[in-house]
Amino acid sequence: MENLLAITCTLLGLMVGSFLNVVVYRLPRGLFFEGGARSRCPSCGRGIAWFDNLPVLSWLLLRGRARCCGARISLRYPILELLAGLAFLLLFLGKSARILPDGEGISLEGVLDYLVDAFLVANLLAASAIDLEFRILPDVLNFLGFLVGAAAAVFLPESHLGHWLAREIGSSPEAARALLDGFAGAALGAGALYLVAWIGTRIYKTEAMGLGDVKFMAFTGVFLGPEGTLLALLLACILGALLGLLIAFRTGDPKIPFGPFLAAGTLCARFAGETLAEALFEDWPLWLRTSRYGALALLGISALCLAALFFLRSLRRGRSRD
């Protein structure tokens, strides 16, 4: 039974990944409800047969080229399908005890809980792919995500109840505590990014961060609550600084989309939040105090960050001159 469900979830993930590719192609171009349900070749417009539209498999069999006109099919198609399939499988493995509580019957609550997180992952995948390609985070995805997150807080409050805010107001009903925790996370995430955007425009006189990022954090914040949102933002900044530097070294352009990093931070906070928070705020400071290399490591990291800042600054000056 468990194996059968695992296979079903993986296949569902592959199909959702295939659908996400349609979303990524159509949504930013404003064609989502146009052109009918049938898939068409983006190059020549001819319809695509079902056997050429199988997740991952068709891309491999066609060796990345369309059957109709030979146009190259972006690597994004199989990657997104594989990621969604893998994510849906991992989610099932992580939640199988909730979905099959006594090993036989399927629990409706467990399935709903699974679907909520599957939706979250799918939304984050689509948003990241669109941000990478078009530098936008579509309102539709953010709004839909916020609604599902709020509904999940009301009907499946567990994931919020361990949080600080939900514990503080312990006497109210569970759904109300979870919803308040979600709204606080959304307000904190959106507020923090709005502040960064505001400061960025004051200092650099250009839009440093889009309003899309602000709305995106309102969506993920409602899933995470305040602590998870802070952790997600912290991880996104660390990841963004590291990868931003790497990309700046390779391309000379420090402007990178922030959405994928916020998405990665959100996934880490949602599925490994406790482990990460412990490592960052308990084990790491302890290690700093007990190890004589702790101070040295901190000094090294600070020096590297400073060097990174100077490097990014010099790039910006170089670009404004020409």
Binding of residue 43 to Zn ion (CB under 5 A): yes
Pick the piece of the chain touching Zn ion (CB under 5 A) from 34-42, 258-266, 268-276, 295-303: 34-42
Pick the piece of the chain touching Zn ion (CB under 5 A) from 42-50, 152-160, 197-205, 312-320: 42-50
Binding of residue 41 to Zn ion (CB under 5 A): yes
Binding of residue 49 to Zn ion (CB under 5 A): no
CB-nearer residue toward Zn ion: 43 or 314:
43
In the region spanning residues 61 to 100, those forming contacts with Zn ion, defined by CB under 5 A, are: 66, 68-69
- Report in angstroms the alpha-carbon separations of 294 from 137, 276, 280, 281, 284: 39, 19, 14, 14, 9
Residue whose token pair is 């530097």: 245
> Least distance in Å: CB of 45 to Zn ion?
7
CB-nearer residue toward Zn ion: 43 or 172:
43
Residue type, 151: A
Q: Which of 129, 126, 319, 118 is nearest to 223 (CA)?
A: 118
In the region spanning residues 110 to 129, those forming contacts with Zn ion, defined by CB under 5 A, are: none
Give the span between the Cα atoms of 82 and 76, in whole angstroms: 10
> Least distance in Å: CB of 41 to Zn ion?
3
Contact flags string 155-184 toward Zn ion, x per CB under 5 A: ------------------------------
CB-nearer residue toward Zn ion: 41 or 132:
41
> Least distance in Å: CB of 54 to Zn ion?
17
Give the span between the Cα atoms of 268 and 228, in whole angstroms: 9
Of 1, 44, 75, 297, the residue at the interface with Zn ion (CB under 5 A) is 44
Helix (H) or strand (E) holding 108: helix 108-134
> Least distance in Å: CB of 69 to Zn ion?
3
Please work out the total of residues on this chain that contact Zn ion, with binding judged by CB under 5 A: 6
Task: Give the contacts of 10 (CB within 8 A, at least 6 positions apart).
Answer: 85, 86, 88, 89, 92
CB-nearer residue toward Zn ion: 72 or 319:
72
CB-nearer residue toward Zn ion: 69 or 272:
69
Task: Give the contacts of 303 (CB within 8 A, at least 6 positions apart).
Answer: none
> Least distance in Å: CB of 58 to Zn ion?
13
- What is the DSSP track for 54-86? STTHHHHHTTTB-TTT-PBPPTHHHHHHHHHHH
Per DSSP, the three-state class of 40 is strand
> Least distance in Å: CB of 15 to Zn ion?
22
Residue type, 309: L
8-state DSSP, 255:
-
CA 89 to chain centre: 17
> Least distance in Å: CB of 42 to Zn ion?
8
> Least distance in Å: CB of 68 to Zn ion?
4
Which residues of the chain form contacts with Zn ion (CB under 5 A)?
41, 43-44, 66, 68-69
